Amino acid sequence: MAGHHRVAPPGTLRAWAGSWSPAPPGALGTELVRSLAERGHEVIAMVRRPGDPRLDAVRHMIAAERVADVSDPAGLRTACGGADVVVSTVGLTRPTRSVTFGQVDHQGNLALLRAASDEGGGHFHFVSLAGIEDPGHARVPMMVAKRAFEQDLMAGPLPWPISRPSGFFWNQGGDPADGA
């Protein structure tokens, strides 16, 4: 699913390369940075912590690193300033009693979208999940939160492509080689 989608020429793209998890995330964000940089885009990575080690493998490909948190609208506006495109991989991998999928996958992405719009962003590209429209997922909290954000994005002020890949959750526990 995509709206107003076109291939962006090389320019400044800001890629959110983090997620909310104590587990070792970062595979998707790292590959996103690598892919954009290899195509000639100037990539500004947004991270929650300065010097985030998850970016070590691609740090040489990043034009700049901006520290921002989806719970801080002012910080998000600063981080989004000047971006042609904001690409969001923001998502919670494991909820806790104090942090929910709704807070991060929906409200966090909504805060990022608002910041991008406030700062004159050209496009907002959201990395969602395959199967999100499947009625069988209507009670899965992560899917509900991501779908709610997709609907806000589609009704929002910026042109938006939505990607729905599958299979990038291999690093959320267990061994992908044996499925354990």
The 10s digit of each residue's pLDDT in 13-29 is 555 444 443 333 467 77
Using an 8 Å Cβ cutoff, are 154 and 117 in contact? no
Q: CA nearest 66: which of 84, 56, 52, 54?
A: 52
pTM: 0.81
Q: Which structure tokens are listed for 164?
A: 């729905």
User: Can you give the residue ranges of every domain in the chain?
Assistant: 9-163
The 10s digit of each residue's pLDDT in 64-99 is 888 888 899 999 998 888 888 888 888 888 888 999
For the domain covering 9-163, report its CATH number: 3.40.50.720
